[in-house]
Amino acid sequence: MKNTFALLILALICQTELYSQQVRFPDDYLGLWKGTLLMQPSGSSVNMSLQIGPAISGDSVYAYTLTYHGSKGDDVRAYEIRVLDQQRGLYEVDEKNSIRLPETLLGNKLISLFSVEGSSLLISLELHADEIIFEVYSWPEKNGQTGGGNDDTPEVKTYMANGYQRAVLKR
């Protein structure tokens, strides 16, 4: 079990190194991206757009604006994304209200993990040649179950997902 786990981690590291050399953030992500966000379990949808850029401060701070185009008008989230350490794939979304969300570029995915009001979220932007796959996974912070934790078995805490959102965004 331990050897299998170690091989899996090594494979993920090698895969991340390969993809990291191919994708340049923010350069490859710059532009206006549009699509429809589908939400589960409700089944509802909303048109959305994501504008990355232009640069605000040299090559280290960029505009990062999410807009949800709802029936009652646009919900605009005008954030900024900062380059912390491009070599290591470390970035930060500044919501400009004292909330700063760490972002990590792993392969062709920019990933953020955080918790808010009792829910944990994983948000990813996966870049492909002509599209970004925008995904949000959510689960309750509490009520996880624990298994293992004895002899040769590591302790594992599990959670049930309670939400998923996905949009295919095109330039």
Phi-psi region of 155 (alpha: psi -120 to 50; beta: other; left: phi over 0): beta
How confident is the model at residue 16, as a pLDDT? 45
| Reported pTM | 0.83
Distance CA 73, CA 135 (A): 23
Task: Answer yes or no: are the C-beta atoms of 169 and 154 closer than 8 Å.
Answer: no
Distance CA 70, CA 118 (A): 25
Could you tell me whether strands 119-127 and 145-147 are parallel, antiparallel, or unpaired per DSSP bridges? unpaired
Average pLDDT estimate for 100-118: 96
What is the third-level CATH fold of 2-170?
Answer: Lipocalin (2.40.128)
| Closest by Cα among 118, 122, 157 to 138 | 122
54 burial (CB, 10 Å; 0-12 / 13-18 / 19+) is exposed
Task: Fill in the amino acid letter for 100.
Answer: R
Of 138, 132, 129, 135, whose CA–CA distance to 161 is shortest?
138
Q: In the prediction, which pLDDT does 17 show?
A: 44
Q: How far apart are CA 113 and CA 99, in angstroms?
A: 13
Q: What is the mean pLDDT of residues 138-159?
A: 91
pLDDT bucket at 144, cuts 50 / 70 / 90: confident
Q: Which residue has the higher pLDDT, 103 or 58?
A: 103
Residue 124 CB contacts under 8 Å (≥ 6 apart), including other chains: 109, 110, 111, 112, 133, 134, 135
Whether the pLDDT of residue 15 is over 90: the answer is no
Average pLDDT of the residues of the chain: 89
The share of the chain scoring above pLDDT 70, in percent, equals 88
In tens, the pLDDT along 17-29 reads 444 447 889 999 9
